[in-house]
Structure 1
Amino acid sequence: MDLSYWELKNWFTDVDYTIVGSGIVGLHAALRLRERFPKSKILVLEKGMLPQGASTKNAGFACFGSLSEIIDDLKSHSEEEVIHLVQKRWQGLQLLRKRLGDDAIDFKPYGGYELFLKEDESSYNQCVGKLPFINEILRPLFRADVFAKEVDRFGFGGIQEYLVFNPFEAQIDTGNMMQALLKEAVSKNILILNQQTVTSYFDKGNKVEVALGDFSFSTQKILFATNGFANTLTNDAVKPARAQVLITEPIRNLDIKGTFHLDRGYYYFRNIGDRILLGGGRNLDIETENTTEFGQTEIVQKKLEQLLKEVILPNQDFQIAHRWSGIMGIGNSKNPIVSRLSDNVYCGVRLGGMGVAIGSLIGTELADLV
């Protein structure tokens, strides 16, 4: 870097807090630090042109877990842990809405639905059977039943008679949300630099030396909010998980409104106006999809197109307008990692594919560790 005196003075001198990652977690951490330390110098470094992982690439679901996903989580987590996870996701969504406002994020409370394919009869029967129990354990949190059976009124193909409806789910506009967060951060005098990759860091006890390629600077504290890219930070407790997504061209007379789940959350779709956004399928080839590389694969894209054709839009013509991917952070546990790695180094990662819901809370908790 060939930096001027002014650039060094304004951006890289007397830095109190450096946050790596300008997604939902990173910006909430920065905003919380600003509340706690009004006069501090806060610098956010982002390796992408835009937030690189999933913050601007997700499907815009304001959700906290479908019925089959919650039942599946109970196989590997205690009942208490699962309730706590749902609670944190729900709190995170309220925090996001409160900070930015429903208009700014285009919050649409259409409710969420889960559908079950004809061949998924055992999963369907299990979910319908356990529905009263899940409602019972979640009732203290929502003060109402979360899940209810509803007859399919959308004309889906090849599915079981009943959908499971959740009135607490909503849609948001992911792009609007991130723009609103970035504006909020800039208005609070938080410095954000894009296309800056932290190549190494060294905690010297009284400060941290941070290297950006062949240039380095000092900061009092460094906070990592790099989620899907955090495996080296956490000794492989976080694995990257690529999510592939597509969106259709506008569809005439589209009568689908809401957020929809299929197969324990491995597939998800929604309307965006009169288009359908559909994502998922990493369970078809977990090993290939545990990657930090962006891109699409034939096996996943074919399955997504098949679901569109046979299940979601069985009697309608459609065309794919665009495809993309995002990188999530997952692990053996769905509990996020918010921890202090050394005297002046912290991380808030492993959002388990629930970044929209839990990201604001994890960012706040990360800043509160300092």
Structure 2
Amino acid sequence: MQLSYWELKNWFTNVDYTIVGSGIVGLHAALRLREKFPEKKILILERGMLPHGASTKNAGFACFGSLSEIIDDLKSHTEEEVIQLIQKRWNGLQLLRKRLGDTTIDFKPFGGYELFLRDDESSYAECSNKLSFVNEILKPLFKAEVFAKEVDRFGFRGIHEYLIFNPFEAQIDTGNMMQALLKQAIAKDILILNQQTVTSFLDNQNTVEVALGDFSFTTKKLLFATNGFANELTKGAVKPARAQVLITEPIPNLDIKGTFHLDKGYYYFRNIGDRILLGGGRNLDFETETTTEFGQTEIIQKRLEDLLKEVILPNHDVKIDHRWSGIMGIGNSKKPIVTQLSENVYCGVRLGGMGVAIGSLIGTELADLV
């Protein structure tokens, strides 16, 4: 990379903070650093044309976990850990709304619903039995009952009569959210360079040498906000998880509004205006979906289409308009990793598929750690 004197001077000289990743976490970290250090030089390096992982590819759910997902988490985490996790997600959502404003992100508080396929009797029974208990442990946080049974009024087919309703869920416009964050960063004199891949870095105690292919520069502090791409960085504590998504063409007289969960959160759908966005299915093939490669597979796409035509919209002639995928960061624990890796290197990763909810808070925590 042959850079001019001007390029070296303005972008790569006297860099105070370099952030790898321009997604929700990276941008919030940068904005928080700018609040604390108005005069410092802050540089963001992004490997993609746009934020590369899931920040511009997610479904736009302002949620903190369905009832079945929370019950499932209670089997592998302590009650205190689950409550703390939900509190972080809830606080993160409020932080995001406060920073950007509900109008900007097209925040729509339609509530969230969980539905259960008729043959999934065990999960339905478990959620029915534990609904009161989960409400009780969440009441100190929400000051109200979070989950309640409601009769299905959407005309879904092949499901139990009752849905689990959560009035605290909402939907947002993911594109608007990320565009607004990028605009704020630029307005705050935060430098963003796209299509830059960090190939290596070396902490020299006083500074960090960062290599971009055959070119390198130094920065005082290096922060990684790479989530699903942080496997090597975290020595395996973060695994990539691909999420496949599709969206329909407009559907006349669509009467579905809200965010919807199915099968412990492995499937999710929502309306976007008069379209349906549907995603998930990695539980059909965990091994293949543990990847940083974008793309679709036949087994998951077929299942998504079957759910769409047999369960969600059984009386409609539905056409698929577009398909895509995103890369999440998961691990053995749902707790995000915000840590110092060496003297001048830090990371904020493993958002567990809850980036919209928790990303703003993790970015802020990452900056505060530095």
TM-score calculated relative to the size of structure 2: 1.00
Structure 1 match to 2:9: 9
Q: Distance in 1 between matches of 2:359 and 2:157?
A: 35
1:279 aligned onto 2:279: yes
Asked whether 1:98 is paired with 2:94, we answer no
Question: What is the SS of the residue equivalent to 1:160?
Answer: coil
Q: CA deviation at 1:22?
A: 0.1
Corresponding residue of 2:246: 246
The answer on 1:204 being equivalent to 2:204 is yes
Match of 2:108 in 1: 108
CA distance in 1 between counterparts of 2:17 and 2:232 reads 21
Aligned counterpart, 1:323: 323
The Cα of 1:2 is off from its aligned counterpart by 1.7
Instruction: Please say if 1:309 is aligned against 2:330.
Output: no
Q: Distance in 2 between matches of 1:263 and 1:250?
A: 26
**TM-score normalised by the chain length of structure 1:** 1.00
Q: How does 1:143-182 map to 2 (within 5 A)?
A: 143-182=143-182
- Does 1:367 find its partner at 2:370? no
d(CA) in 1 for partners of 2:310 and 2:41?
Answer: 54
**Secondary structure of the residue that 2:89 maps to in structure 1?**
helix
Tell me, in whole angstroms, the C-alpha distance in 1 between the residues paired with 2:180 and 2:309. Answer: 35
Shift of 1:133: 0.3
Tell me the CA shift for residue 227 of structure 1: 0.1
Rounded Cα–Cα distance in structure 1 between residues aligned with 2:82 and 2:97: 23
Distance in 2 between residues matched to 1:215 and 1:103, nearest whole Å: 42
2:256 is matched with 256
Aligned partner letter, 2:139 = R
Q: Give how far 1:57 is off.
A: 0.2
- State the partner residue of 2:232: 232
Deviation at 1:117, TM superposition (A): 0.3
> Per the alignment, in what secondary structure is the counterpart of residue 311 of structure 1?
helix
Task: State the distance in 2 between where 1:100 and 1:252 align.
Answer: 32
- C-alpha distance in 1, partners of 2:235/2:206? 25
**1:125 corresponds to which letter in structure 2?**
A
- The residue aligned with 2:24 is 24
2:354 corresponds to: 354
CA RMSD of aligned residues (A): 0.3
Quick one: which amino acid aligns to residue 118 of structure 2? K
Aligned match of 2:335: 335
- What's the CA shift string for 1:259-314, capped at 9, x where partnerless? 00000000000000000000000000000000000000000000000000110001
- Unpaired stretches in structure 1, ≥5 consecutive residues: none
- Residues 72-87 of structure 1: pairs in structure 2 closer than 5 A: 72-87=72-87
Partner SS state of residue 103, structure 1 = coil
Tell me the distance in 1 between the aligned counterparts of 2:253 and 2:206. Answer: 63
Which amino acid is the alignment partner of residue 165 of structure 1? F
Percent identity at matched positions? 84
Residue 217 of structure 1: CA displacement? Answer: 0.3
CA distance in 2, matches of 1:101, 1:248: 28
Measured after TM superposition, the shift of residue 367 of structure 1 is 0.3
Local SS of the residue matching 1:155: coil
> Which residue type is aligned with residue 295 of structure 1?
G
* Aligned-partner Cα distance in 2 for 1:81–1:368: 22
Structure 2 distance, partners of 1:202, 1:39, is: 25
Residue in 2 aligned with 1:293? 293
Q: SS at the partner of 1:105?
A: coil
Question: In structure 1, what residue type is equivalent to 2:265?
Answer: G
Query: Does residue 1:219 correspond to 2:219, yes or no?
Result: yes
In structure 2, C-alpha distance between the alignment counterparts of 1:157 and 1:7, rounded to whole Å: 60
Q: Structure 1, residues 224-280: CA drift from partner, whole Å, max 9, x if none?
A: 000000000000000000000000000010000000000000000000000000000
The whole-number CA distance in structure 1 between the counterparts of 2:8 and 2:98 is: 36
Aligned partner of 2:226: which letter? Answer: T
Instruction: Tell me how far apart the structure 2 counterparts of residues 260 and 367 of structure 1 sit (CA, whole Å).
Output: 33
Instruction: Please state how far the C-alpha of 1:112 moved relative to its aligned partner.
Output: 0.2
Offset of residue 154 of structure 1: 0.1
String of CA shifts for 1:77-120, please: whole Å, max 9, x gaps: 00000000000000000000000000110000000000000001
Q: Deviations over 1:62-85 (max 9, x none)?
A: 000000000000000000000000
Secondary structure of the corresponding residue to residue 104 of structure 1: coil
Aligned-residue offset at 1:159: 0.2
Equivalents in 2 of 1:290, 1:74: separation in Å?
24
Aligned-partner residue type, residue 159 of structure 1:
I
Report how many aligned residue pairs link the two structures. 370
Q: Distance in 2 between matches of 1:135 and 1:195?
A: 45
CA distance in 2, matches of 1:257, 1:181: 26
Report SS of the residue matched to 2:222. strand
**Residues 187-236 of structure 1, C-alpha deviations (whole Å, 9 max, x = no match):** 00000000000000000000000000000000000000000000000000
Q: Quick one: distance in 2 between partners of 1:121 and 1:276?
A: 26
Q: Secondary structure at the match of 1:181?
A: helix
Deviation for aligned residue 1:339: 0.1
